[in-house]
A and B are shown apart, each in its own frame.
Chain A
Amino acid sequence: MHDDTRRRLMLASAAALALPPLVARAQGTKLRLGLMLPYTGTYAQLGVAIENGLKLAVAQAGGKLGGREVEFVRVDDESDPAKATDNVNRLVTRDKVDVLIGSVHSGVVMAMVKVARETDTLLIIPNAGAGAATGALCAPNIFRTSFSNWQPAYPLGKVMIERGHRTAVFISWKYAAGEEAAAGFKEGFTAAGGKIVKELYLPFPNVEFQALLTQIASLKPDAVSCFFSGAGAVKFVKDYAAAGLKDKIPLYGVGFLTEGVLHAQGDDAEGLLTTLHYADSLDNPRNKAFRAAYTKASNNMEPDVFAVQGYDTGLLLAQALDKVKGDLSNRAAVVAALENAVVDSPRGPWKMSRAHNPIQDIYLRRAEKGVNKVVGVAWKALEDPARGCKL
């Protein structure tokens, strides 16, 4: 018995010793995509939507990118910037991924940008809109398939001026995304001839809006523009209506205000005008086909703007990798392929700006009976100014 056990142990050890090179060679042919997304916490659903969208695009490309099998390495980043550097280092150093994909939270993405710059790893950002990622910290190996915080906010100013509002109050949380959106809105609104009476901020994620609503009522601007999302957006829209402001001072917002929360906002959101690079109701064959395919592939889940961004990440990779025939060793060729790709997205075709952020149409949407109906294009082919980027 003992001998038998020992022999088996030795055989097993020998096998184990023999195995790693075999595995390594097999991995060499597979394309390793490192997904660093939130799978738990507040943003868990966004992470899942992005992954589903990405996987749909890969499946539609025949399960291969540039002729190579794809292997996904997933890390739950928990939307925790404190753990982000360790998480991304693990993907780059231990798992040796070919492409990093992530994430939702801006703080996490800033850590990813830093590591990507240091290790020269390809990074594709499928959501976080932090301006610096394709601005002051832009790099040849860093791309974004979503938006910059400036982008959907900028056209809002023109939209409001066109509707006769000359003065406005802007309100948001005091955090990076809110302040970047504020800068975008301010630039667009003043360029169109408007005047910002006041900017109001709450500490993030405080939702006690009553004091600031009182202030808006006493300032009496022509209109109010805001940047909120998620549960805070629900409460803000409801409080705004409950304070009797909805019919007196029109409310406008960056599109996230009514994304995924319209049913909870109910009648209080009815008629709200928002700007975003996508709308569920976009009436084009590409979007309809995407929505049908996504719903079928993801257990009857409805796709949202985040699913589209994940999907576009997959489309972009498929196109670029086909171009270089799956060979990532020539970095210059890969970057050129990513830069020149025209992504046939459900949001409408777009391509990369010089700073590697989408040049895309921003839509004007009106909330009607629980749907963000597209009213028109608020700004055609809008490019983020990418201040501080030297690409």
Chain B
Amino acid sequence: MRWLALPFDTFAIQLLNAVQYGLLLFLVASGLTLVFGIMGVINLAHGSFYMIGAYLAWSLAEHFGNLGIAIVVGVALSLLIGAALEWLFIRRLYDRDHLYQVLLTYGLILIVEELRSIVWGDDVHAVPVPDWLAASIPLTDTLSYPVYRLWISGVCIALAIAMAFVIQRTRIGMTIRAGASNREMAQSLGIDIRFVQLVVFAVGIALAAFAGMIAAPVSSVFPGMGNQVIIICFVVVVIGGIGSVKGALVAALLIGLVDTFGKVLELEVAGIPVLPELAGMSVYVLMAIVLLWRPEGLFGKRAP
């Protein structure tokens, strides 16, 4: 076995890269785990709303000339879209098998992709970074770190804290948790569970779209961009434990670490190069190991 070690400063910067990527993953996956865990709905179209968010950010930023306003308007719009979808479609599926949900949300992927093509076309677009975040901080003589990426990390951390606070410490959070653990009981105690579900689904969609919006300046905006994130999002949810926001955060950071260092470390086992050749697999190997060890995920509830 042969390792190629990294110099310390490079290692530190790679660690920063890993955390930053992990936090962005958490942001996208949090909405998915919320909807999945609390409502029991598998939303395959989650990635599509990430894409819609990015396209909204692009078109609204062009229109208003300001990414901040674009994000506020975009989040409001995606809340409305989410609520409408829940009311029209998802509502009818709570008592059905997961297979129906998979079918419906897969159909949504196709429809959203086609609508995107009709409304915005198939071109690749770029969203400019807001001026006040456009600077870079020099880290070494050749490398600087874009302030916008650090800002994204900050937003993700703030959002994680806010989500934890709302779910654990507020009355709304309590009703959400009650609805998740026993729908009938919560209903008989006078909680309007239908309304709670409408809100949770809308928030889930808005979180996906919000992630697409703030990621747009660094990821660029292009057709099918949601399909790239949806798979890794499911990996985050599965590793973290279904429905656990804390689990999603830990899993996303783990994936960030494994993905980043899988690409840059060099590892040979018995003369055969393992890394970075197999970097594309590293995340899935991590998932397999976690599932063997804890089939319910890191922070998932054990099946009774």
Contact = CB atoms under 8 A, between A and B. Distances in A.
Interface of A: 42, 44-45, 174, 201-203, 205-208, 210-215, 217-218, 220, 230-231, 234-235, 238-239, 242-245, 248-249, 260-261, 264-266
Contact of A230 (B219, B222, B279): B222
Contacts of A220: 142
Contacts of A210: 17, 20-21, 149, 260
A205 B222 CA distance: 13
A31 B62 CA distance: 49
Interface stretch (B100-108, B120-128, B165-173, B240-248): B120-128
Contact of A238 (B126, B143, B223, B225): B126
A16 B158 CA distance: 73
A205 B122 CA distance: 18
Given A206-B280, A210-B149, A211-B260, 6 more contacts: A202-B263, A215-B10, A242-B149, A244-B138, A244-B142, A265-B126
A187 B20 CA distance: 37
Interface of B: 7, 9-10, 13-14, 17-18, 20-21, 122-126, 128-129, 136, 138, 140-146, 148-149, 218-220, 222-225, 228, 259-261, 263-264, 276, 279-280
Given A244-B143, A264-B124, A231 B138 contact: no
B124 A261 contact: yes
B218 A214 contact: no
B124 A44 contact: no
Given A211-B14, A212-B263, A217-B143, A234 B280 contact: no
Contacts of A243: 136, 143-146
A211 B20 CA distance: 11
A374 B137 CA distance: 35
> Quick one: which of A206, A217, A218 has the most chain B CB within 10 A?
A218
A383 B88 CA distance: 60
Contact of A42 (B129, B143, B220, B224): B224
B264 A45 contact: no
Contact of B259 (A208, A235, A249, A265): A208
A238 B136 CA distance: 13
Nearest to B141: A248
A248 B218 CA distance: 21
A264 B10 CA distance: 30
Contacts of B219: 207, 235
Given A231-B222, A243-B144, A214 B126 contact: no
A265 B126 CA distance: 7
Nearest 4 interchain pairs by C-beta: A203-B280, A244-B144, A217-B143, A231-B222
B263 A238 contact: no
